[in-house]
Structure 1
Amino acid sequence: MLAFPCVASARDIRPQTWTPVTVSLEIRELNGTTKKFPDVPWSLGITVLDTMKMVDGIKFSGDWNRSISDWLITSIDGTINANGSYWTYCVNGEPAGVGAGSYTLGPTAAVVWVYGSAYPPNCK
């Protein structure tokens, strides 16, 4: 049996500080209004739809879309998909290409919702 001396003292032990891991959420309206939510708590397996549900101050609705087998966001804060304009989102500056319930976010992800008629949306 091997033994190793322990030389640590109380002054060698420093308290660890933990920084919560978050994602950010931004909503961009067609009229230029922007809402930012920089500190949405992140956890393993969280989706874009989950982040929308977690944020106070956002009212949204969606419909189950059979063709994409996912939730399609149809309204955010009273702005509805109409007349060729609709809500789309990007993650980390890139168009997602899947419904909000399917995109699993990594830690520190940045989600930007954009309302307009252009696809892909300008999320930069």
Structure 2
Amino acid sequence: MKKFYASLLSLFLMLGILMGCAEEDNANPETESDSAVSITISQDNGAEVIAEEEIVIEEGAILMDVLEENFEVEKSDQGFITSIEGIAQDDENGKYWMYDVNGEEATVGANDYELNPDDKVVFDLHGME
């Protein structure tokens, strides 16, 4: 009889160990490595908001790629943005597409900017100051 109880106890211990090891990871692997950024398209220093999107990105995402995937964008042969959402820059009046990230003016082109989680990007069509 002692052998029976010892076997039963061993069985329960083994089941407990296996259940502890088999804990299911409910986390979605995509959401663990993904994060969101906010992109706003405006003109005249934010006087008119054209579009505003919260976009989920993957680590290492480049701003120009994300912009082109989510908005209608036209570029010059040199890679400068000439139109977003059908609104073109105005060379004659000196209005061009500029962007800032988290309130700071960009120091690199959109082709070179690697997005960070929670970045707030604003593309604005306005005159050179």
Tell me, yes or no, whether TM beats 0.5: yes
TM-score of the superposed pair, with normalisation by structure 2: 0.67
Q: Which residue of 2 aligns with 1:95?
A: 105
- 1:24 to 2:38 alignment: yes
- Alignment gaps of 5+ in structure 2: 1-15
Pairwise CA RMSD: 2.5
Taking every aligned residue pair, what percent have the same amino acid on both sides?
A: 28
The amino acid that maps onto 1:29 is Q
TM-score w.r.t. the length of structure 1 is 0.70
1:2-81 matches, cutoff 5 A: 10=19, 13=23, 15-18=25-28, 19=31, 20-30=34-44, 32-38=48-54, 40-55=55-70, 58-65=71-78, 71-81=79-89
Note if contact 2:98-2:123 (Cα within 8 Å) is conserved in structure 1.
yes
Q: Is the 8 A contact 2:96 2:125 kept in 1?
A: yes
Q: Relative to 1, partners in 2 of residues 1:34 and 1:8: Cα closer, same or farther, differing over 3 Å?
A: farther
Deviation per residue, 1:25-82 (Å, 9 max, x gap): 11012361331111x2212221110111221xx21101142xxxxx210111222111
Q: How many residues align?
A: 106
Tell me how far apart the structure 2 counterparts of residues 116 and 100 of structure 1 sit (CA, whole Å). 17
Report the Cα distance in structure 1 between the residues aligned to 2:53 and 2:108, rounded to whole angstroms. 22
Name the SS for the 2:58 alignment partner.
coil
- Do the aligned partners of residues 118 and 16 (structure 1) sit closer, same or farther apart at CA in structure 2, a change above 3 Å counting? farther
* CA–CA separation in structure 2 for the residues paired with 1:34 and 1:111: 14
In 2, the alpha carbon distance for the partners of 1:90 and 1:36 equals 14
Counterpart residue number, 1:114: 124
Q: Which structure: larger Rg? A: 2
